[in-house]
């Protein structure tokens, strides 16, 4: 079991790891200077984290791509351990579940190693899902994982590891997903709301971007807010449910039970439904929609759907006092004219655009990076303040002796 240090000691560890996440690679001296920490204190923390395989040393100028400008013996720098998979990432989607072994270093892109569809069965979806997880475990292994991070959509209470409400995957509301996963991999399990994971992943990839609203388009539409580099704290376990903003005149039924939610117009299904209606009921694929937009441009039916999304986004920016929007998911797969139209509409509805600049940019999904960030924060170096994360929830890690 990792030794549980004083609260100040644990806060120093958390600060050091966050700084290394921002820098990517750094020396002991660079970390100490950036944190205003004495070199002996920083060195002791680094030695303990190397011993527990959280950090690893690399030689400057090695194949990792870092070149030395010093003469003589190559210098050594630190990075989060990229040599060994320490965590397991799972994404629960509407149609399929994806699984990946991940190291603690920030991945360049998501790389899911195992995928399975949820097949229908008389035993119910939860039992089928557990059976398919066990099949995945035989291929993935994982006796030495520190924990499992589970990305799930909907309203998620991360403190109790429960899905409270999931408009598009209702079966997860009654299933104890964490218990099921623990029965397959006997390690700690953390549920993470999927948009929050995406926002944390984007921030890790772009640490200079500390304040933004992320909006993800896919089977639904969800959002997450990052302020000062951290997820916005909420008194309730709900945030960023931007897709359920009602749109006047929209009569479509939403999975949440309401009529007229914005996501029924701009989700994958919603856009294809509108496209079908605009072409006399003919069914189309997503690829056909892309080609149609390239050929015909932004037609009125598409403009109306994008404008409804822009109204909800602009309203959120006005309330939150933000000026950056990060768009991920299916809209980024469409021609650039789609994002350009959305961006202009957001600008038109944003108060800040009348005085300054409002940014609306496309970005890839970085789900595994976000899950790794949660794993480091909650499992590797948790805040051991009892009112936040009890000490007994820390992950057992085999320690190697620190070499003197």
Asked if the model's pLDDT at residue 301 lies above 90, the reply is yes
Q: Which DSSP helix (H) or strand (E) runs through 329?
A: strand 324-329
Residue 355: alpha-carbon gap to chain centroid: 32
What does the pLDDT average to over 223-235? 92
Number of separate helices (H) and strands (E) present in the chain? 13, 14
Query: What are the backbone dihedrals phi and psi of residue 26, each rounded to the nearest 5 degrees, phi first?
Result: -160, 160
Opening angle at CA 22, ends 10 and 222, nearest 5: 95
Over residues 146-205, the pLDDT tens digits come to 999 999 999 999 999 999 999 989 999 999 999 999 999 999 999 999 999 999 999 999
Asked if the model's pLDDT at residue 377 lies above 70, the reply is yes
| 360, 347 contact by CB (below 8 A) | yes
Asked if the model's pLDDT at residue 270 lies above 60, the reply is yes
Over residues 336-356, the pLDDT tens digits come to 999 999 999 999 999 999 999
Q: Tell me the pLDDT band of 239, cut-offs 50, 70 and 90.
A: confident
Q: Where are the extended beta strands (E) located within 331-398?
A: 359-362
**399's tokens:** 């320690």
pLDDT at position 74 is 53
How far apart, in whole angstroms, are the C-alpha atoms of residue 103 and residue 87?
6
Over residues 96-123, the pLDDT tens digits come to 999 999 999 888 889 999 999 877 665 6
pLDDT at position 383 is 74
How far apart, in whole angstroms, are the C-alpha atoms of residue 46 and residue 113?
31
pLDDT at position 389 is 37
Model pTM?
0.87
* Domains in the chain: ranges and CATH: 7-80 (1.10.10.10), 87-197+367-393 (3.30.420.40), 207-362 (3.30.420.40)
Query: What are the backbone dihedrals phi and psi of residue 102, each rounded to the nearest 5 degrees, phi first?
Result: -135, 145
């Amino acid at each position: 079991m990792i030794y549980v240090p004083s609260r100040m000691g644990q806060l120093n560890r958390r600060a050091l790891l966050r700084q290394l996440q921002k820098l990517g690679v750094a020396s002991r001296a660079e970390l100490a200077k950036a944190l205003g920490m004495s070199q002996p204190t920083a060195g002791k923390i680094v030695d303990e984290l190397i011993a527990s395989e959280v950090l690893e040393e690399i030689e400057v100028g090695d194949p990792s791509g870092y070149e030395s400008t010093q003469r003589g013996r190559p210098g050594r720098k630190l990075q989060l351990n990229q040599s060994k998979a320490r965590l397991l990432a799972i994404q629960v989607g509407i149609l399929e579940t994806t699984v990946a072994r991940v190291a603690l270093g920030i991945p360049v892109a998501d790389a899911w190693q195992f995928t399975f569809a949820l097949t229908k069965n008389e035993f119910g979806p939860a039992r089928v899902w557990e059976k398919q997880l066990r099949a995945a475990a035989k291929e993935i292994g994982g006796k030495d994982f520190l924990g499992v991070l589970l990305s799930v959509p909907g309203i998620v209470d991360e403190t109790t590891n429960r899905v409270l409400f999931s408009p598009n995957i209702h079966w997860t509301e009654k299933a104890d997903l964490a218990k099921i996963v623990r029965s397959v991999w006997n390690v700690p399990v953390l549920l993470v709301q999927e948009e929050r994971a995406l926002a944390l992943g984007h921030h890790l990839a772009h640490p200079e971007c500390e304040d933004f609203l992320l909006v993800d388009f896919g089977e639904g539409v969800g959002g997450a807010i990052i302020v000062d580099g951290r997820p916005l704290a909420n008194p309730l376990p709900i945030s960023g449910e931007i897709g359920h903003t009602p749109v006047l005149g929209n009569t479509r039924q939403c999975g949440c039970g309401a009529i007229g939610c914005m996501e029924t117009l701009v989700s994958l299904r919603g856009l294809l439904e509108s496209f079908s209606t605009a072409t006399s009921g003919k069914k189309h694929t997503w690829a056909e929609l892309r080609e149609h937009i390239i050929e015909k441009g932004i037609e009125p039916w598409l403009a109306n759907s994008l404008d409804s999304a822009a109204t909800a986004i602009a309203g959120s920016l006005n309330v939150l006092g933000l000026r950056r929007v990060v768009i991920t998911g299916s809209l980024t797969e469409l021609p650039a004219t789609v994002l350009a139209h959305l961006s202009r509409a957001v600008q038109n509805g944003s108060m800040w655009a009348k005085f300054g600049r409002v940014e609306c940019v496309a970005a890839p999904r970085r789900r595994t990076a976000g899950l790794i960030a949660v794993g480091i924060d909650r499992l590797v170096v948790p805040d051991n303040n009892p009112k936040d994360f009890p000490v007994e929830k820390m992950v057992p890690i085999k320690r190697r002796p620190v070499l003197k």
